[in-house]
Structure 1
């Protein structure tokens, strides 16, 4: 399986015009994907709610039926539980494609309130978003929620920060400060996965400048020091691939 993974990654990278993100099947520990940060404390009272939403919230906590619209409105008032239920309902209704933006946004509301179990739904929905049309205020919400989780050691959030930063990607060009934080957290994780993913994000580009090649090579050099056999072997094979491809450039 590991060698098939290496061949798959190398083959995809070698394909001309492949600009999509290449997933790496190196699973993280469940515990590191469940690290939770409360970014915006969820609603714990009825204060400020209109009367119809007070009734809806009471029904929700009594596990009675609440309309989709009222769940969404409660989520807009900062109710993390309502946001989580709304997301699960949209998924159950088969709306993953049609309402990806709502899924991503209301998942972010839930995760930001401490409901980290909704983070996979958030990340999956974000992969379906168009960076050109997604509202900026929603993108800011995704950043507000993902970054604190990533810096706290949540590996799913950290992977997402790597995936969604970059030219023509959802979060835009990767800033030096964000790059430094990603690498610092990757070094703390000490498994080489972040460095490998960042290198592959560079290698996915069709044409690479010399500085980009050097950056990818430096990241792969760090990744191949990993104690994770799959990460180490993949990094070494990608280095060999780069050496063959760019041998003429010295």
Structure 2
């Protein structure tokens, strides 16, 4: 009884999200909100993508070694010094420099995103929200390719390590006209596999809802119908009661509209 009452409350919100969008959505459903939250713990999962500077032996000059020593002693360094150390791959310096930029009027979002990415790549996951926020301001047509590769490396690495915020960002920035470009089949498959390991059902529901929204507005192909069903079946095995209940209701609606294969 509690589950039926819950799904009656949640399903209309999901249906409205899917059907009332005014903008096109791709197969990753980046713009469809799903009223299911991930946990703070899952957003803080961190892996080291690039170790960066771990010892003074990796710092090439005596001047830079002295600056790094001062930084680790708690001495505030000027922004230019932080940037020099960050350019060596020092994650702490990159994190501090990104925060300096965030506090500056007129700082370039590209610089914030890039130096935040260096920090996140060394495992400083607390900088991930700043990285993603800055990436949302970037122009896909003009962002340097080398920086985009850095964002991809860092976000994919953290996402495949189980960080749900990073996985959401991988979905958000993949797609035609988006920062990472068209979503490849390989990446799409890996996203779904990781979503299954995370077992929260959130990504599968977004992707399925995008397909269902397409079905309402213009019709789904048989392959898309089968894919939406597979995504919902995976979401129906999630640890989250909300995800399971929502997926089961959408599967029922699909059966009523499209029948079972």
TM-score (norm 2): 0.77
Alignment of 1:231 with 2:246, yes or no, is: no
- Against the structure 1 CA distance between its residues 165 and 241, is the aligned structure 2 distance closer, same or farther, given a 3 Å change threshold? farther
Return the alpha-carbon distance in structure 2 between the equivalents of residues 201 and 164 of structure 1.
Answer: 16
1:39 is aligned to 49
Give unmatched runs, 5+ long, in structure 1. none
Return the alpha-carbon distance in structure 2 between the equivalents of residues 134 and 4 of structure 1.
Answer: 42
Deviates more, 1:221-230 or 1:140-149: 221-230
Quote how far apart the aligned CAs of 1:196 are: 1.3
Q: Is the 8 A contact 1:108 1:119 kept in 2?
A: yes
Give unmatched runs, 5+ long, in structure 2. 1-5, 25-29
RMSD over aligned Cα atoms: 3.1
Return the alpha-carbon distance in structure 1 between the equivalents of residues 85 and 194 of structure 2.
Answer: 35
Q: How does 1:80-229 map to 2 (within 5 A)?
A: 80-93=91-104, 99-202=108-211, 209-210=220-221, 211-229=223-241
- Against the structure 1 CA distance between its residues 92 and 241, is the aligned structure 2 distance closer, same or farther, given a 3 Å change threshold? farther
Q: Is the 8 A contact 1:40 1:112 kept in 2?
A: yes
- Against the structure 1 CA distance between its residues 132 and 92, is the aligned structure 2 distance closer, same or farther, given a 3 Å change threshold? same
Q: Is the 8 A contact 2:7 2:249 kept in 1?
A: no
Quote how far apart the aligned CAs of 1:81 are: 0.3
Q: Is the 8 A contact 1:165 1:174 kept in 2?
A: yes
Return the alpha-carbon distance in structure 1 between the equivalents of residues 101 and 33 of structure 2.
Answer: 25
Return the alpha-carbon distance in structure 1 between the equivalents of residues 9 and 69 of structure 2.
Answer: 53
Return the alpha-carbon distance in structure 2 between the equivalents of residues 67 and 2 of structure 1.
Answer: 54
Alignment of 1:63 with 2:68, yes or no, is: no
Q: Which has the higher contact order (CA 8 A, sep 6+)?
A: 2
Q: How many residues align?
A: 245
Alignment of 1:17 with 2:27, yes or no, is: no
Deviations along 1:181-218, whole A, 9 cap, x unmatched?
A: 22222222223222113224555767565244443343
